[in-house]
Amino acid sequence: MTAIISTLIFLTLVVAAVVAFFNFIPIGLWISAWAAGVRVGLITLIGMRLRRVPPAKIINPLVKADKAGLKVTVNQLEAHYLAGGNVDMVVNALIAAERAAIDLPFERAAAIDLAGRDVLEAVQMSVNPKVLETPWVSAVAKDGIEVKVVARVTVRANIDRLVGGAGEDTVLARVGEGVVSTVGSMENHKEVLENPDAISHTVLEKGLDAGTAFEILSIDIADVDVGRNIGALLQTDQAEADKRIAQAKAEERRAMAVAREQEMKAYVQEMQAKVVEAEAEVPQALAEALRTGKLGVMDYYNLKNIAADTEMRESFGRLTGSKDESGTSAEPGSRLGPEDGE
């Protein structure tokens, strides 16, 4: 009984060892590679396991590349996988480039993949160009009329500039800038409506694809629309601003005039006070002159007579002036002659 148990344990251990061996060493994958004509040693597969590289992610793309006639080694694929790249995507891109007669070495394809770009999509875009559509681009012609333009940009991927080249957003931004510049240089918005292709020709000549990962093949105007009269709105806003400035300046002048008027009133009051003060000194001066003998009594009476006569003449003048206003008398101070009395 003990012998039977020992035999069963031994057989279990042998089976477990065999299963572990076949799990660690992908014999089936090795046989598939040999059947496809790809010579890969078991030591290489064991080394992949030790380096924590799934052999299937290397051997299957290697078989695919070999069948496509590409010269790719196991070390290249394994190194790209360890660097964090997509091995299967790179091999597919190499096969697509080979079929399209595009010169794409493995090193460049691996660099594009590691840069975060879809290398297969880039190769496909080199064969089948992509159409990018800009949003509504608002521009203003010299006559002040707003023109809205939608442009379609046909681009092809430039394999040589995929690493470090600008993306689609930069291309669309440059095209929008070119549309604004071109429309802004036109004298009339009607020129844009009559010849929209003039925009595409002008923009295409600016070399907007410089420094980008694409090559611009064509720029087509998809839609043109007339917007607001920006020039009139700006003139209206300017006129409103000028009016407010003028009103502010007028208010400033009015405030200054009011202040000046108040100053003059105060000045008049001051002068009147000085006159009253001077008139108050007149009796004192007369009394002093009489006491000192510089003014006689008769001289004083003559002075009073002159003052009374002057006051009488002023009263006559006021009466004559009031008659002139009613239209029945002559100028103030004039007297009736013999002819007038007849």
Those residues of the chain that have pLDDT short of 70 are 1, 3, 6, 8-11, 13-26, 28, 321-342
Question: Which stretches of 74-118 are DSSP H helices?
Answer: 74-82, 87-99, 106-114
Region of 337 on the Ramachandran plot (φ > 0 left; ψ -120 to 50 alpha; else beta): beta
* Neighbouring residues of 153: CB distance < 8 A, sequence distance ≥ 6: 131, 132, 133, 134, 171, 172, 175, 216, 218, 219
Question: Which residues in 219-254 are b (16+ Cβ under 10 Å) and which e?
Answer: bbbeebeeeebbeeeeeeeeeeeeeeeeeeeeeeee
**Is-contact 58 85, C-beta < 8 A?**
no
For position 335, what pLDDT does the model report?
A: 44
Report if pTM > 0.85. no
For position 10, what pLDDT does the model report?
A: 60
* Neighbouring residues of 136: CB distance < 8 A, sequence distance ≥ 6: 148, 149, 150, 225
For position 338, what pLDDT does the model report?
A: 43
Cα→Cα distances 95→34, 76, 158, Å: 21, 16, 17
Neighbours of 208 (CB within 10 A): 21
**Is-contact 152 223, C-beta < 8 A?**
no
Residue pLDDT, tens place only, 142-163: 888 888 889 899 888 888 887 7
The packing angle between helices 87-99 and 119-127, to 10°, is: 20
Q: What is the CA radius of gyration of the chain?
A: 54
